[in-house]
Structure 1
Amino acid sequence: MNAKEILKKYYGYDAFRPGQKELINHIIEGRDVIGIMPTGGGKSLCYQIPALLLEGITIVISPLISLMKDQVDTLKEYGIKAELINSTLSMTEFRGIMMGAREKAYKILYVAPERLEAESFIDLLKELPISLIAVDEAHCVSQWGHDFRPSYRRISQMLSHLEKRPVVAAFTATATPLVKEDIIKLLRLEQPFELVSNFDRPNLYFEVRKPQNKLEEIRQYLLENKDKSGIIYCATRKNVEEVCERLNRLGILATKYHGGLGEQERSENQEDFLYDRMPIMVATNAFGMGIDKPNVRFVLHYNMPKNMESYYQEAGRAGRDGEAAECIMLFSTQDIMTNRFLIENASLGVDHSQDYQKLNHMVDYCNTQGCLRSYILTYFGQVALEEDCKHCGNCNNEIEETDITREAQIIMSCVRRMREQFGSTLVTDVLKGANTQKIRDFNFHELSTYGLMREYSKESIKELISFLIAEGYLLLAGNQYPILKLTPQSYPVLKGEEKITIRRLIMRQKELPEEVRVEAHELFTLLRQERYKLAKAHKVQPFMIFPDTSLKDMCKRYPITAEEFLQVSGVGEHKLQKYGENFILLIKEYVETHTIKKELSPSMATGFTIPTKSAPRDSHKLTYSLYRQGLTLEEIAKERNLTELTVENHLVKCVEEGLEVDYADFIPEKYEKQIIEAIQICGTTLLKPIKEALPSEVSYTAIKFSLLKLK
């Protein structure tokens, strides 16, 4: 059997996801690999399929007991022989599993990294015919990673003790270039094949909302999304308790998870959520690591997280089955103060400058007027989308433009008159005309800008300040006590030479597709009930029987024979034998009762897709033609009704295809040498580290074209 046949036989899928096939092929050929793929990108298949093709046993190093157990249970449901070794086993259980491994009773053995600290365990591993070592969450080996685990350092020592070195495959969802190089070095990977996947998750819809009442916003959202499974993240335990209590009072089923609960209560609440007994989990960021629940349809953030890494990891727990899901942030300026407090009190005496910088990026995300997906991609050092994604709050909603030049001038003037030495809270108080001791002490009540924005709420003024920071008109300097400063962009506005408009979103009612949504389908409900019953009987999570994607495919195909059932996405031979009869009988009865005519069109069989805006072919060459006529990026953007970012990406594509540009149009002469030095130090894989090593005036545009010039 080859890799594709195994994918169909055991997992029930017809095609690999991007990057999976390349990684699998290199492992099978005997080459070390490192795969950096986003959450939900299908990393586990990249070592599970080679495990079934290689002769011996595959050892998987995994840091989380809950994740190991879920993966082993899932593999057993696929009919794949697997076991795990962790601290919960008795000595008798441990010996039994090791004996089975020696006798080749399993193809995959999951091991907690702490086991590698015992020499006696490494001696036992020497007796096994190991063909592959897969290291999950490989960033744990690096001190530069966000979740360093010292026991991961034992992996390379274990490898040196084995009689024959197996192939080593490392996987992670979060690795900067620095961490990636650390993984290669510390795991002693030998000339590995490296794959860094696109971080974009097309099935996720991103949106930032700024409601007056967050609890009311959540209540309304949940009423519109009844019976869907979701996570609501809060910054503090107090917020978790408040939100969960309010939802329960409203009759909305929700459970909670945070560090202040007892271990048993946390465990029970987590199980209620995973087994679909409770559709909604309200939690701090303590929840979610190692949780693999594919049918999470939304992740709401009641508070803004303190950095983009945390946000994308938490938001990424939605839609792991590839189906459409929503990631919505509820932002208020109070979130900034909450996060500053959490950073300041995290570790006393530690330099938090990097944490504050990351927080500023998070605030910028909440205030950007551009495409949210592109912001995320650019933050992680990847190339932004060529056009608006049409699948985020900023691209998908109608925009109302408001001229805020006057307000911006007042705010900037106030910052300047306060000598650029104070933060947004005091600037807001001065603009509101507050009568405080601090204002009187500094004589700020005598400033010409004092009280000029009395009619605005404090929240509105702070939101305007956040917007001006995000757009580069103001700078937030300092760390623990940030102060507002003017930037070169401020002065044209102050002189009346430039106008500023803010684009406010007008929320559009989402349109339902013309055909009846499968979630509302009566058969879908019946299939979910059958799945829940079977999951309870077999003591496994419902998605391990079949994920929602498989149930939806059944609703489209109406399979009433074993052969037809095998064509359903996610149905392999083992699951057909184990559960097929239950579902086929139920579907057959439904078809007969409702006298359904089974006429399956090819489009029905393909499942749900998210409509995307298709760009005209050779659009980039039309942009290039205008560039050659002497038009600037701004002029081309206006002419073609595109964003400047799209125009820039078009020209990058043209250069890659061999067309010529004048690099002096894009790279400032005085910074060119610095940019080249930064590229040599940081490497060419990601843009973000290069940007951070350069003065703030150097744009991503200059970096992109410098990279092209160096090629």
Structure 2
Amino acid sequence: MEIEKTLFDNLQNFFGFDTFKGDQEAIITNILQKKDTFVIMPTGGGKSICYQLPALMSEGTAVVISPLIALMKNQVDQLRAFGGADSIAHFLNSSLNKSEITRVKQDVLDGKTKLLYVAPESLAKTDNIEFLKLITVSFVAVDEAHCISEWGHDFRPEYRKIRQVINGIGENIPIIALTATATPKVQSDIRKNLQMNDATLFKSSFNRPNLYYEVRPKKNVVKEIVKFIKNNPSKSGIIYCLSRKKVEEIAEVLNINGISALPYHAGLDAKTRAETQDKFLMEDVEVIVATIAFGMGIDKPDVRYVIHHDIPKSMEGYYQETGRAGRDGGEGVCIAFYSEKDIEKLTKFMKDKPVSEREIGTQILKEVIDYSESSVCRRKQILHYFGENFNEAGCNNMCDNCNSHRTQFDAEESLHKTLSFIKEQGEKFDDFHITNVMIGQNNQPVSSYKHDIHPFFGTGKEQGVIYWKSLLRQAVLNNYLYKDIDNYGLLKLTKTGADYIENPYSVKFYLNNPMEKADEEGDETPAQSGGALDTQLLQMLKDLRKKIAKSKGLPPFVIFQDPSLEEMCTHYPITLDELKQIHGVGAGKAAKFGSQFVSLIKSYVEENDIDRPVDLVIKGTANKSALKVSIIQNIDRKIGLDDIASAKGLSYEDVLKEVESIVNSGTKLNLNYFIDEMIDLDRQDEVFDYFRTAEVDSIDVALKDLGTEDYTFEEIQLMRIKFMSELGN
């Protein structure tokens, strides 16, 4: 009773909470009684308090082993804010210099520090082991403990050495291991490796009822992402990509389309990563585009969506990353884009790895494929993966599969046949082999076991591959079979499965919903227009352009070029923000000339009762976007275009094209330093005056009118760039 009162007093005084969440109280009591403790609790369940509170209440210092510097910093900052003194919590890792390390160690020796966060690599260093021998270690907390297992999604070999290091520091030091994702196999690995077989296990349900799960085919993925974010304004979100290059690209596309986004990956320096994280927490930025390096331990409760641009490598990774949405119990939308090409890429990554690692990786990836292609409740599949049975009625239509019309089939006969075959053949085959037997696909393994002459061979050919994949997947999900992942994923009978062979009954399964073929082109170059051109509106816009041009003494093409007007006639932009999404309309041009155009379009749409396309116009980045930025910077530094060309390994003509593209999209460039050297002032004036009165902006027409003996194509092009930049932008 006394412990209980003290617990609640400390919870209230330090953290400001009135009640414990779930198993927190029982876990903390267990640690205070110096017992080994194993905590499996989903993201947002409140794992941190499970070791922070007992550390504050115990004699000595608790050592917290954590895999990421960002995660340690985040937690130490929070503890210092709660506790009021910087010395209450410290971290010891590679980001500290010598004097900072000395200060940390002195605070610990003086008994001021209750929690010391260390990376597994730092923990194993001899001088740190010697230092920890000098102090009283209240207990060791191993956070993100799934890193111990090769079957976990974030395997770290250094985690394997934790037990021997603890043994070297002192005797009978209690351990608490914590993870948000652990399959039965990973749980067993953690217990074995940390030698904590007698640990009390506290396992919370993995179900996050507020999260909505959806998998979409990877079709026009950039457009889909921009559209989703535009439809969810002012909400915080995370987009995960597999490569750093893709992270940079997507962040750039979002910014071009008026969404504040920042990239986050291990290639950025620690200062930039920390600043990005802070901007996200402080809501100075709406979206983070990241590799998996982002998010572990990030305590932001109101992330409203998590989007996977690429399907993750494992179900653990997927669960961990989606788990960062809706930690406050509010809305959390989780969308993953799936394509076979991504799976091929992930498979290629594994081909150079040792055989055992490749085998593990293949099985982990197969679970992701099965999840993505299946029509079964997404929640049921996720929870089954973590060893939890779930009745899909409890999903409440909070996933795309439960929310859509699905095809059911009577599985009784096929299930009985499959289970009988597995039993008869000694439970020695995986789902791939069994599918091949049923559809009559003869290959080396099938013929070597003489299954090509088995009575069942080819008897399921008519139903097809998708049918048998669906059946085997759901036989596992509904516990008729289980996958022996220690043994190449072979399918074995459960007691339910063995009983079913003796007493079959009617069973309905869902047929997999094969993903539409992903349009990979759409990934890189979203469709820029849709629908037929409205010729009536186009003429009205051209008339308006002519009127504005006349009043400003400019040729019409300086206001907006024809392709921009044509796109306006397809997408009907009625606000300046929408107008900025039209190609060739930058913020400057929209501000300078845009209001009359959107006003005309708005009236036209209302008068003609036009149903505007719901699709947004998505501005894509050109493949050479980094090149464009570099060219602008070099022009600002007054470097000659010919010098820029040779430095970039391009022709002078190519650089001119890039510069023209930059100017046409609304960026003002001052090229006088270069043009003045190339073309004398009188000739410049002549070309400038020509374009002032020209009907069209064609270089060929200009050359014909001005005379090819006096000017080159490149000179006219240069002058046209100067003209458009000075008068149009």
TM-score between both structures, scaled by the size of structure 1: 0.56
Change (3 A) 1:83 1:700: farther
In 1, Cα distance between the equivalents of 2:466 and 2:201? 47
Partner Cα separation in structure 2 for residue 365 and residue 205 of structure 1: 15
* Structure 1 residues 595-610: aligned runs within 5 Å: none
Counterpart of 1:113?
120
The 1:354/1:144 distance shift into structure 2, 3 A limit, reads closer
Partner of 1:206: 213
Describe how 1:21-420 pairs up with structure 2 within 5 A: 21-79=25-83, 81-142=88-149, 145-162=152-169, 165-189=172-196, 191-210=198-217, 212-259=219-266, 261=268, 265-344=272-351, 347=353, 352-385=358-391, 387-394=393-400, 396-399=402-405
Q: Secondary structure at the match of 1:2?
A: helix
Higher RCO (CA-CA < 8 Å; seq separation 6+) = 1
| Residue 595 (structure 1) aligns with | none
Distance 2:255 2:442 in 1: 40
**Unaligned regions of 5+ residues in structure 1, if any?**
404-465, 480-484, 504-642, 650-665, 667-674, 676-686, 707-711
Q: CA deviation at 1:299?
A: 0.6
Is the contact made by 1:389 and 1:395 (CA closer than 8 Å) also made in structure 2? Answer: no
Distance in 2 (CA, whole Å) between partners of 1:501 and 1:86 is 51
Quote the offset at 1:174 in angstroms: 3.5
- Cα deviation digits, residues 567-591 of structure 1 (max 9, x gap): xxxxxxxxxxxxxxxxxxxxxxxxx
- Inter-partner Cα distance in structure 1 for 2:390 and 2:440: 24
Equivalent position SS for 1:306: coil
CA deviation vs aligned residue, 1:376-403 (integer Å, no higher than 9, x gap): 1112232133525114333552426599
Q: Which residue of 1 aligns with 2:621?
A: none
Q: 2:379, 2:392 within 8 Å by CA — same for their partners in 1?
A: no
- In 1, the alpha carbon distance for the partners of 2:289 and 2:99 equals 39
Name the structure 1 match of 2:18.
Answer: 14
Give the SS at the match of 1:357. Answer: helix
Contact 2:182/2:316, CA 8 A, preserved across alignment: no
TM-superposed CA distance for 1:221, in Å, is: 0.8
Residues 130-169 of structure 1 deviation map (CA, whole Å, 9 limit, x = unaligned):
2222222233445555544454455434443456633221
> Quick one: structure 1 residues 359 and 194, their matched pair in 2 at CA, closer, same or farther if it must change by over 3 Å?
same
- SS of 1:69's partner is helix
Tell whether the 8 Å contact from 2:397 to 2:403 is kept in structure 1 after alignment: no
Q: Distance in 2 between matches of 1:499 and 1:230?
A: 34
How many Å separate the matches in 2 of 1:495 and 1:153? Answer: 50
SS in 2 for 1:387: helix
For the 8 Å contact 2:440–2:459, the answer to whether it is kept is no
TM-superposed deviation, 1:188: 3.5
Closer, same or farther: CA 268–97 of 1 in aligned 2, 3 Å = closer
Q: How many residues align?
A: 461
Relative to 1, partners in 2 of residues 1:217 and 1:135: Cα closer, same or farther, differing over 3 Å? Answer: same
The alpha-carbon distance between structure 1 residues 282 and 498, as it changes in their structure 2 partners (threshold 3 A), is: closer
Residues 264-663 of structure 1 aligned to structure 2 (within 5 Å): 265-344=272-351, 347=353, 352-385=358-391, 387-394=393-400, 396-399=402-405, 494=461
* Separation in structure 2 between the aligned mates of residue 4 and residue 189 of structure 1, nearest angstrom: 28
User: Residues 321 and 499 of structure 1: is their aligned pair in 2 closer, same or farther, counting only changes over 3 Å?
Assistant: closer
For the residues of structure 1 that align with 2:465 and 2:281, how far apart are their CA atoms?
Answer: 54
Secondary structure in structure 2 of the residue aligned to 1:281: strand
Residue 5 of structure 1, CA deviation: 3.1
Relative distance call for 1:31 and 1:209 in structure 2 (3 A) is: same
**Separation of aligned partners in 2, 1:66 and 1:254:** 19
- With over 3 angstroms needed to count, the CA separation of the structure-2 counterparts of 1:116 and 1:705, relative to structure 1, is farther
SS at match of 1:109: strand
Is the 1:204–1:318 contact (alpha carbons within 8 Å) kept by the matching residues of 2? Answer: yes
CA contact (8 A) 2:124 2:161 kept: yes
Task: Specify the code of the residue in structure 1 equivalent to 2:234.
Answer: D
Amino acid at match of 2:58: L
- Which range moved further: 378-387 or 244-253? 378-387
Give the distance between the partners of 1:118 and 1:125, measured in 2 at CA: 11
Once residues 211 and 195 of structure 1 are traced to their aligned partners in structure 2, the CA distance between those partners, rounded to angstroms, is: 39
Report if the CA contact (8 A) 1:36-1:175 is conserved: yes
Compute the TM-score of the two structures, normalised by the length of structure 2.
0.55
User: Is the Cα–Cα contact under 8 Å of residues 141 and 152 in structure 1 kept in the other structure?
Assistant: yes
Q: Give the Cα separation in 2 of the matches to 1:175 and 1:297.
A: 24
For the aligned residue pairs, the C-alpha RMSD in angstroms reads 4.3
Aligned partner letter, 2:263 = K
Q: Which residue number in structure 1 is paired with residue 719 of structure 2?
A: none
> What's the counterpart of residue 631 of structure 2?
none
Are the aligned partners of 2:80 and 2:89 in contact in 1 as well (CA < 8 Å)? yes
Quick check: 1:85–1:109 contact (8 Å CA) kept in 2?
yes
In 1: Cα distance, 2:25 partner to 2:104 partner? 31
Q: Deviations along 1:448-481, whole A, 9 cap, x unmatched?
A: xxxxxxxxxxxxxxxxxx9x989x97999999xx
Identify if the C-alpha distance between structure 1 residues 501 and 165 changes in structure 2 by more than 3 Å, giving closer, same or farther. Answer: closer
Query: How much has 1:300 moved relative to structure 2?
Result: 0.6
